[in-house]
Amino acid sequence: MPRPQLAKLAQEQLDKEERKRQEWLAKLALEMQERDRQFELEKLRLEVERVARDKGIPLEPAFNISAAGRLLPQFNEDVDVFFESFERVATELTWPRPRCSLLVQRAVVGKAQHAFAALDGTLSLQYDAVKKAVLTAYRSVPDEYRRKFRSHQRRGVTPGRAMWGTCELSLPALLRPRWW
């Protein structure tokens, strides 16, 4: 190979290595900026915690609705059982009451979803209104509870405790006083 071509190849190789080195330095600078940013964020978080602790303000972690959604009970056509288990889970995990309507909306299907969609914007954010609309859609109103309770019969070899459990769900609603 002639000398000018060798010199040209050597120069190209040097240029290529220089570009790689520049890219590596740029990447390193970006990583350092990201580390500095993370450090500053952590420093600010600790400062907020310290100020809140000094003033006696409790800091609670933010409510993660997607994580809570994974813990929802499975919705089926027996809405009484669904709401009973939903409220137990919500109480146990101390879910904020305003978020419960969003979680119910995430779980319901069919008639319950139509009942939820029929509510206006402000009512759809109130858990009690959502629950009432879904129960009404499934006719789980006091008259229906009364009918269920009175017509309940032991089927086959159903254990007494299982029968009592199903009766126990409709009994509180049956005994609840009517205010309307």
Based on the domain organization, do 135 and 82 belong to the same domain?
Answer: yes
Asked whether the beta carbons of 130 and 124 are under 8 A apart, the reply is: yes
Q: How far is CA 141 from CA 94, 100, 131, 170, 172, in A?
A: 27, 21, 11, 10, 12
Instruction: Give the model's pLDDT for residue 163.
Output: 61
How far is the C-alpha of 125 from the C-alpha of 66, rounded, in Å?
Answer: 17
Residue ranges of the chain whose pLDDT lies below 50: 178-180
Torsion angle (degrees, nearest 10) of CA 91, 97, 102, 106? 10
How far is the C-alpha of 36 from the C-alpha of 18, rounded, in Å?
Answer: 27
Instruction: Give the model's pLDDT for residue 42.
Output: 92
Per the structure, the complete domain to which residue 83 belongs is given by 66-140
How far is the C-alpha of 44 from the C-alpha of 54, rounded, in Å?
Answer: 15
Based on the domain organization, do 82 and 115 belong to the same domain?
Answer: yes
Based on the domain organization, do 125 and 80 belong to the same domain?
Answer: yes
Based on the domain organization, do 135 and 157 belong to the same domain?
Answer: no
Last residue of a domain, one of 39, 59, 79: 59
Instruction: Give the model's pLDDT for residue 179.
Output: 38
Based on the domain organization, do 113 and 150 belong to the same domain?
Answer: no
Q: How far is CA 71 from CA 3, 122, 132, 180, in A?
A: 74, 25, 22, 35
Instruction: Give the model's pLDDT for residue 178.
Output: 46
Q: Counting runs of H as helices and runs of E as strands, what totals does the chain give? A: 8, 0
Instruction: Give the model's pLDDT for residue 180.
Output: 36
Based on the domain organization, do 134 and 151 belong to the same domain?
Answer: no
Residues in the chain: 180
Instruction: Give the model's pLDDT for residue 141.
Output: 56
Based on the domain organization, do 44 and 105 belong to the same domain?
Answer: no
Based on the domain organization, do 76 and 46 belong to the same domain?
Answer: no
Instruction: Give the model's pLDDT for residue 59.
Output: 65
Instruction: Give the model's pLDDT for residue 159.
Output: 63
Last residue of a domain, one of 13, 37, 59: 59
How far is the C-alpha of 98 from the C-alpha of 120, rounded, in Å?
Answer: 16
Tell me, what amino acid is at 48?
V
Structural domain total, the chain: 3
Based on the domain organization, do 118 and 149 belong to the same domain?
Answer: no
Instruction: Give the model's pLDDT for residue 166.
Output: 61
Last residue of a domain, one of 140, 156, 171: 140
